[in-house]
Amino acid sequence: MSEIKDIDALRAQLDGTRGKEYWRSLEALSGTPEFKEFLHREFPQNASEWLDPVGRRGFLKLMSASLALAGVSACTRQPTEELVPYVRQPEELVPGKPLFYATAMPFAGAGMGLLVESHEGRPTKIEGNPDHPSSRGATDLFAQASILGLYDPDRSTTITNLGDIEPFSAFVVAMRSVLAAQLSKKGAGLRILTETIASPTMAAQIDDLLTRLPAAKVVQWEPFFGHNAREGSRLAFNEYVAPQYAVEKADVILSLDADFMCVGAAGLRNARAFASRRRAENTGTRNRLYAVESTPTNSGSRADHRLPLKASQIEGVARALAAKLNVPGVAAVSVSGEAASKFLESLAVDLQGARGKSLVIAGDSQPASVHAVVHAINAALGNVGQTVSYTQTPEARPGNQIASLRELVGEMNAGTVDFVLILGGNPVYTAPADLKFGDALAKVRLRAHVGQYEDETAEKCQWHVPEAHYLEMWSDVRADDGTVTIVQPLIAPLYGGKSPHEILAAFAETGGGERPGYDIVREYWAKQTGLSTAAPAAPPVVVAAPVPAPAAPKAPPAGAAAGVGAGAPAAAPAVPAPIAAAPKPALSPFDLAWRKWLHDGLVPGTAFATRQVTLQGAMPPAATPVGDGLEVVFRPDPAVHDGRFSNNAWLQELPKSLTKLTWDNAALIAPGTAKRLLLISGDVVELKQGGQTVRIPVWLAPGQAADTLTLHLGYGRTRSGRTGTGIGFAVNALRTTGAPDTLAGVQLTKTGDNYELACTQDHGSLEGRNLIRVATQAQYTADPSFAAKMQEEIPKTLTMLPPRSYEGYAWGMAIDQNVCTGCNACVVACQAENNVPVVGKSQVANGREMHWLRVDRYYTGDDPDNPDTYHQPMPCQQCESAPCEVVCPVSATTHSDEGLNDMVYNRCVGTRYCSNNCPFKVRRFNFLLYGDFTTESYKLQRNPDVTVRSRGVMEKCTYCVQRINQARVASKLDDREIRDGEVVTACQSACPTEAIVFGNLNDPNSRVSKLRANTLNYRLLEELNVRPRTSYMAVVRNPNTTLEPAKPTNGEERG
């Protein structure tokens, strides 16, 4: 409009000129300010430039420059970021050098003491805490895999209320209003459902809440572990106590359906203790393990005598044994079957002969009455105080969880519950099917769920709050022996998760609802210890640094600095600093203690004292009637447990120790029973009982009891995450409160369908090969070097080359098969340490799994329903004359002067000839792009010292060469040799039984050299002259000669 106006004005101006005043062009007119104005209106900024031949070029330059700059800045203003280097570098933080922090992993009602490796603030690897009584430096597979869980991109990230994202303050406000409403009712409508509480702070918070709201109830539900043991102890002693086993003191051990070395809070401790009597270098008497079990367990695979028996018949065995041992109050029961009665006969004699040095352990899945009988047997054998002692339970509030859950469901159905807070766990998925927990939950008016995933339970609740991972929160937890570890965070919550303490703080009287977990835990412990939190007024000039580096029998990988939480300074040699050291704040008495607890990973003096218990006179009646027909036993999945780890790809892809299945669960069935029912592995069957059916493929499991199907829980999740959703088969439908462990009278129908299961080891037989060398104690005593004699004769003219000599270090590994339980902790540890990718079910089914370390499982013996089982961890053997090296056309795998087969990823073109020529088939090939290069959160987990391999590249075990090099750097700084035990490979460090020993073969005093010199030492496939650096210890079994008459050394493996 204005232009038109201007043109009008121009016209007016032209009109206003007198006579013939010509204008030739616009140029002529442009002298007038009006016209200039006009032009500037039309080309607002650079109009005049167009008219200027020189200026136009300038304009174009400007234009292009501004366009380019517009492209750079895009639409958003970049935030001002300032890179600020450390003015004072924190003493313990050296980029590239990991720090280790002590913490603990709470799991199923107990804690496991850990050291967590942290690279520049990223936790990357879990190690056991050598000072911690329950782990002694080892870990189990769940702890190893939990680091991946921390970085799981599928964890819930936001607090939601009916799907809407809310701030935490809104949640607190909602909780405060619930609290206000409940105060008048004394909490009659308030229910809190948690997992088993093993945190003293949390127990105190709950106690505080229940004092104020006495009518409120806290219900605990843990799908596995402890139900029967708890009730068994109450039956036997009329109080809840926890048996603490001293397995190392026992000469004769009987396990009744117990996987006491691999499962449960004391598993690691028991395994270490058991191994101490079985090692190759063991000079004392070997212990003897009898196992009576319904389904093969890892502990059972180490048994000298194993009796597969239906779960319901095991009680009969326990009672018959008790009667034979003259346990008062137990009626004699006859045991059917010749094998079983002979077994029992010899067992009773053996146990009698080892009074005070024997031990009977009942498994979690055996009914409470069996636990009670076992307590009585141990008492009758004089084991109490010797091999078994009793303490209070590590869980803070022991009780009958099944009964209280049933009660909760009743109340929810009755509508008397106004609000339920589900604090951890996934009860909608894990609760026994007959409770119909999900339906009952839906009847509660207000429901809140705190969990790491938006899972089946979160789906049914209005509120969902992301729960912090244990590596993200402040907490505390008791180990099975009572020792408390302060759980300290390694990283700020990645997804804004809240710890249970912070959630419960919303119900606290003080603190206004929102309190950091740090304060809550500290406050509890300050109160508990009575130490003052006030700093001394006049601080001394130098505060003694209260943190010695952890002096441990099994140190964390060398070169690692010992760090402590909360930025406490570590003791360091006084070096003149260019910049003055930061002023050290004076520490209160509590802080001094607190920092030591954090550093050591445990609170001293918190282990439980032994408690005197008295047996109740009468033994309870037998709980389970011995039924005919098929029986189902329920177990947590060996890899994903009750389903809580189902989104953890490492655990999904982990070959389950005894079946070697990945990515699925299957109903385990004895080969004999399968033959009778015309079933083969993979056949889908329908299991029916009480109107409930489960469809699941069967898997033939040698060692399984006849007519018994083992169903593993944890699969068939409907809301797990991109890894765990929809895989496997949900078996929860058959599990009821009445039969949570063993279900009798199951009907099996063959559907005719077949389901492909991805198994990593198709072949369990040794095919008569001398790969596993076994002798009995008698044979070993007669001929200690039997293993060498099983070696095929090696031709003397095998090679014309002189043996290669190794100056300096010669790394080697010795694996003691006597103590390997096949627990799989090493496999996951290797995966975590070496950035081993996950490939998925279809790739595993095609034989392309990437694990650098596999644990081979072989069966020997004549009876497929009760074979001897052996585990053989198989890392790269690091052959001295390695067949892989000579065939690589580009020298991508070469020999180091310390004897390692190094893999040069950058040079590898991927011909796979090395793998073809590897007699052990330990090489792994990236057939496709298996490494995850895109998921941001997983990038944080990666070990920065190990390359993430790309497509088309061969990879394999390196003996953790990065750890060797860290130790080398550390030793060179000190101008010394690397000490024995300074290099600890990831598998070795995780191993609960210390079956893996690594070290320098050139050092005659190293542990590995000594093992090498042991007569049990042998190397695989020696006749090929590959000269492996990894050697194995032959197995010495310790059978009872009355059950297994002595045979002369046969010189052949029993295949």
Partner 1 sequence: MAAKEHVPDHEELALMQRTPAVIAPGHTFESVTDSISSIVLTKRTTIGWFFGFALAFMFLMVLNMTIGKLLLEGIGIWGNNIPVGWAFDIINFVWWIGIGHAGTLISAILLLFRQQWRTSINRFAEAMTLFAVACAAMFPLLHTGRPWLAIYWLFPYPNTMGLWPQFRSPLIWDVFAVSTYGTVSALFWFTGLVPDMATLRDRAQSKAARVIFGMLSLGWRGSARHWQRYEMAYLLLAGISTPLVLSVHSVVSFDFAVSVLPGWHATIFPPYFVAGAIYSGFAMVMTLAIPLRKFYGLEDFITMRHIHNMTKVMLATGMIVAYGYANEAFFAWYSSNAYEAYMMLNRMTGPYAVFYWTLIAINAVMIQLFWFRKIRENIPLLFVLSLLVNVGMWLERFIIIVTSLHRDFLPSSWDMYYPTRWDFAMFTGTIGLFFSLFFLFVRFLPAIAIFEMRTIVPEAKLKQHHG
Contact segment (CB under 8 A) with partner 1 among 262-270, 495-503, 744-752, 879-887 equals 879-887
CB of 912 to partner 1, least distance (A): 3
Contacting partner 1 (CB under 8 A), which of 763, 804, 939, 976?
763
Least distance from C-beta 917 to partner 1, angstroms?
5
CB neighbour class for 25 (10 Å; exposed up to 12, middle 13-18, buried from 19): exposed
Distance CA 841, CA 165 (A): 35
Least Cβ distance, residue 1033 to partner 1 (angstroms): 18
**CA neighbours closer than 13 Å in the CB half-sphere of residue 822:** 24
Q: Among 1021, 1034, 1035, 1036, which residue sits at the site for partner 1 (rule: CB under 8 A)?
A: 1021
Work out which of 692, 927, 971, 1003 binds partner 1, going by CB under 8 A: 927
Please give the torsion angle defined by the CA atoms of residues 501, 502, 503 and 508, in that order, rounded to the nearest 10 degrees: 80
Segment lying near partner 1 (by CB under 8 A), choices 500-508, 555-563, 704-712, 847-855? 847-855
Examine residue 921 and tell whether it contacts partner 1 (CB under 8 A): yes
Determine the length of the chain: 1055
Encoding tokens for residue 512? Answer: 């206004």
Nearest to 137 by CA among 248, 269, 261, 247: 269
Please pick, from the candidates 169, 285, 765, 1041, the single residue that binds partner 1 as defined by CB under 8 A.
765
Q: Which is nearer to partner 1, 143 or 855 (CB)?
A: 855
Q: Tell me: does residue 911 bind partner 1 (CB under 8 A).
A: yes
Site for partner 1 contains 221 (CB under 8 A): no
In the complex with partner 1, which residue's Cβ is closer, 322 or 953? 953
CB of 753 to partner 1, least distance (A): 21
912, 979, 1007, 1054: which one contacts partner 1 (CB under 8 A)?
912
| Contact status, residue 1033 vs residue 816, Cβ threshold 8 Å | yes
H helix and E strand count, the chain: 32, 39
Least distance between partner 1 and beta carbon 801 (Å):
12
How far is the CA of 121 from the CAs of 97, 492, 549, in angstroms? 11, 9, 19
Closest distance of CB 770 from partner 1, Å: 9
Other Cβ atoms less than 10 A from the Cβ of 85: the count is 5
**861 touches partner 1 by CB under 8 A:** no
Element at 500 (helix H, strand E): helix 500-505
Applying CB under 8 A, which of residues 81, 338, 762, 862 lies at the interface with partner 1? 762
CB 707, CB 627: distance < 8 Å: no
From candidates 147, 311, 820, 954, binder to partner 1 by CB under 8 A: 954
815 binds partner 1 (CB under 8 A): no
Smallest gap, in angstroms, from Cβ of residue 457 to partner 1?
38
Q: Which of 198, 246, 225 is nearest to 482 (CA)?
A: 198
Of 88, 186, 722, 907, the one binding partner 1 (CB under 8 A) is 907
Site string for partner 1, 1024-1053 (x = CB under 8 A): x-x---------------------------
Which residue, 766 or 970, has its beta carbon nearer to partner 1?
766
- What are the residues facing 243 on neighbouring strands? 390
The answer to whether the Cα torsion of 360, 361, 367, 371 is positive or negative is positive
Give the C-alpha separation, 680 to 700, whole Å.
Answer: 7
Q: Which of 1020, 1034, 1035, 1036 binds partner 1 (CB under 8 A)?
A: 1020
Residue 560 or 879: the one with the smaller Cβ distance to partner 1 is 879
Would you say 163 and 847 are in contact if contact means Cβ atoms under 8 Å apart?
A: no
767 lies in the site for partner 1, by CB under 8 A: yes
CB atoms within 10 A of CB 777: 17
| The only residue of 270, 662, 821, 872 in contact with partner 1, by rule CB under 8 A | 872
Select from 190, 164, 165 the least CA-distant residue to 177: 190
CB of 267 to partner 1, least distance (A): 25
- Calculate the alpha carbon distances from 881 to 129, 760, 956, 1021, 1022 in Å: 37, 28, 17, 12, 11
Which distant-in-sequence residues (6+ apart) come within 8 Å of 761 by Cβ? 655, 660, 854, 856, 857
Contact flag: residue 925 with partner 1 (CB under 8 A): yes
**Which residues is 807 bridged to in the sheet?**
none
Distance of CA 513 to the CA centre of its chain: 33
For residue 915, state whether it binds partner 1 (rule: CB under 8 A).
Answer: yes
CB atoms within 10 A of CB 110: 27
Does 379 engage in binding with partner 1 (CB under 8 A)?
no
Nearer to partner 1, 212 or 841 (CB): 841
Binding of partner 1 at residue 854 (CB under 8 A)?
yes
Site map 788..807 versus partner 1, x via CB under 8 A: ----x---------------
> Which amino acid appears at position 575 of this protein?
V
**Residue 319 or 660 having the CB closest to partner 1:** 660
> In whole angstroms, how close is the CB of 221 to partner 1 at the nearest point?
40
- Write down the least CB distance from residue 890 to partner 1, Å: 5
Residue 564 burial class via C-beta count within 10 angstroms: exposed 0-12, middle 13-18, buried 19 and up: buried
Q: How far is the CB of 581 from partner 1 (least distance, A)?
A: 46
How is residue 727 written in tokens?
């895989």
Instruction: Check: CB of residue 272 under 8 Å from CB of residue 136.
Output: yes
Q: Does 860 sit near partner 1 (CB under 8 A)?
A: no
Q: Which is nearer to partner 1, 742 or 926 (CB)?
A: 926
**1054 touches partner 1 (CB under 8 A):** no
> What is the arrangement of strands in the sheet containing 305-308, beginning at the earlier edge strand?
305-308, 288-293, 252-256, 358-362
631 in Cβ contact with 310 (< 8 Å)? yes
Considering only the stretches 201-209, 594-602, 711-719, 909-917, report the one whose residues sit in contact with partner 1 under the rule CB under 8 A.
Answer: 909-917
Among 214, 328, 604, 768, binds partner 1 (CB under 8 A): 768
Specify the residue, 194 or 926, whose C-beta has the smaller distance to partner 1: 926
> 27 CB contacts (<8 Å, ≥6 apart)?
51
- Selected from 62, 210, 570, 887, the binder of partner 1 by CB under 8 A is 887
| Of residues 333 and 887, the one with the C-beta less far from partner 1 | 887
On whether the CB atoms of residues 665 and 827 are closer than 8 A, the answer is: no
User: Which of 438, 569, 919, 1039 lies at the binding interface for partner 1 (CB under 8 A)?
Assistant: 919
Q: Which stretch binds partner 1 (CB under 8 A): 78-86, 468-476, 950-958, 1040-1048?
A: 950-958
> At closest approach, how far in Å is the CB of 875 from partner 1?
13
Residues 376 and 180 sit within 8 Å (Cβ to Cβ) = no
Total number of residues that touch partner 1 (CB under 8 A): 56
514: helix, strand or coil: coil
DSSP-assigned letter for residue 342: H
Q: Return the residue of 302, 371, 924, 942 that touches partner 1, per CB under 8 A.
A: 924
- Distance of alpha carbon 965 from its chain centroid, rounded? 27
Instruction: Report the distance separating Cα 966 and Cα 765, nearest Å.
Output: 40
Residue 323 tokens, joined: 């009667």
Q: Which of 12, 492, 928, 1013 binds partner 1 (CB under 8 A)?
A: 928
**Counting contacts by CB under 8 A, is residue 199 touching partner 1?**
no
Which of 482, 477, 521 has the alpha carbon at shortest distance from 606? Answer: 482
In the bound complex, what is the minimum distance in angstroms from residue 895's beta carbon to partner 1? 12
- Nearest distance from residue 909's CB to partner 1, in Å? 4
Sign of CA dihedral 443, 449, 454, 456: negative
**Which residues lie near partner 1 (CB under 8 A)?**
761-769, 771, 792, 843, 846-848, 854, 856-858, 872, 874, 883, 886-891, 907-913, 915-917, 919-921, 923-929, 951-954, 1020-1021, 1024, 1026
